[in-house]
Structure 1
Amino acid sequence: MNNSDLVSILVLSHNNLQYMEECLNSILEQSYPYIEIIISDDFSSNFRKDEIEQYIESNKKENLVNYVINQNHSNLGTVKNLNNAISLATGNYFINLACDDVIFDSGVISSIVDFYSKTNYLVAAGHVAQYDEQLRGCLLTTPVWEYIKYVYGNPIDCYKKLCGGNFIPGAGVSYKRELIDRYGMYDENYRLIEDYPRWLYLTRNGCSVGYIDRFIVKHRKGGISTSNRDTKVDKMYNDDLELVKNREIFPYIASIKDVIYKE
């Protein structure tokens, strides 16, 4: 094995550690032979590094090549936490995974690597199934079929469509190290929203987003991007959305006449 085969799963947590074992189980059951787990916790009050390490050691298989458990010394926000995880990873492929989500089935990582081996894409999204809090029943799936053609098509057309709102799932997004080398890390001008400004930046700069025709993640209802937020978090989230418009859309909108942004 060399690092060109290694897949780094970036597990991000913040005060949702009650789901960590479920998340880890979905990684540890993967059939792919070369996996690295990077856990980066954004200063959770109940973080116990030794307990997580003990769980991994007790349940790991031969395909777990390496794991790193990090906790930030203060609450940095989703974007900086994700960049910290990327900095700790050594793989050639990356998969973003929230601690309260799980990988859909044991063949997901193998399918993702197979996709990249057969295409020239540097980043790709697949289907996400949104479940209830107990992961008992699927509530909806994304992206809807009417948007898939924009994900899979010309990057500028995709950018135009994204200016009207994000439709590409951020959960379970995968990408190659070359994407980071070519386009840089996630934009730390944002605190909570990592995916929407990233999609806008990449597509506007000509980076095509691949489409993997399978379910990647079971996404648990709740979290930063849904309604279960306190007032402070809600303000930070809305501030990020306003910044997206001012940084990623409005400066370029004059040259893209057929875009209608949804207020």
Structure 2
Amino acid sequence: MFKMLSKENFISGSVTYFDKSLFKKYGNFNENYRIIEDWPNNLKLVRNNIKIEFVDIVTIAYRLNGESTANCKSKAYLSDYLNIILNEILPYQKIEHFSCEIQPMENKKIKITDKRSI
């Protein structure tokens, strides 16, 4: 699951439910992330072998044009995204397989390449 979550944040934070004991054992959401706080939390949980399960019921109606969606390119979103890659994913991967290209935030370009697939 960590490998899949490392490539894409496919679990919507707005429909994720946690048992209180998980926060007691693994800590709260990291408040250093302003926009994408759910992704690093999910990465932390799966790194600790916590199983994330799918429940097939509708729980909310959700708009896809907010600031925390992948379509948004705000500086806050891009800053969170970059910091998640650098702090929550790369330290737990075999670093020799990755290259990273980062340009100033004005250009809003982040490129992470897994050299194993080249």
TM-score, scaled relative to structure 1:
0.35
Give unmatched runs, 5+ long, in structure 2.
101-110, 113-118
Alignment partners' CA distance in 2, 1:160 and 1:228: 24
Q: Give matches, 1:48-67, under 5 Å.
A: none
Alignment partners' CA distance in 1, 2:60 and 2:84: 25
Aligned partner of 2:11 in structure 1 is 168
Deviation of 1:200 after TM superposition, in Å, equals 0.8
Alignment partners' CA distance in 1, 2:42 and 2:31: 14
Which structure 1 residue ranges, 4+ long, deviate > 6 Å from structure 2? Answer: none
Alignment partners' CA distance in 2, 1:191 and 1:211: 26
Aligned partner of 1:254 in structure 2 is 94
Alignment partners' CA distance in 2, 1:160 and 1:246: 15
Check if 1:205 corresponds to 2:48: yes
Alignment partners' CA distance in 1, 2:60 and 2:27: 25
Give unmatched runs, 5+ long, in structure 1.
1-157
Q: 1:228 to 1:167 in 2, by over 3 A?
A: closer
Aligned partner of 1:177 in structure 2 is 20
Alignment partners' CA distance in 2, 1:235 and 1:216: 30
Deviation of 1:173 after TM superposition, in Å, equals 1.0
Point out the structure with the larger strand share.
Answer: 1
Alignment partners' CA distance in 2, 1:175 and 1:166: 17
Q: Give matches, 1:61-76, under 5 Å.
A: none
Alignment partners' CA distance in 2, 1:246 and 1:228: 20
Check if 1:240 corresponds to 2:80: yes
SS of the aligned residue for 2:94 comes to: helix
TM-score, scaled relative to structure 2:
0.73
Alignment partners' CA distance in 2, 1:228 and 1:161: 21
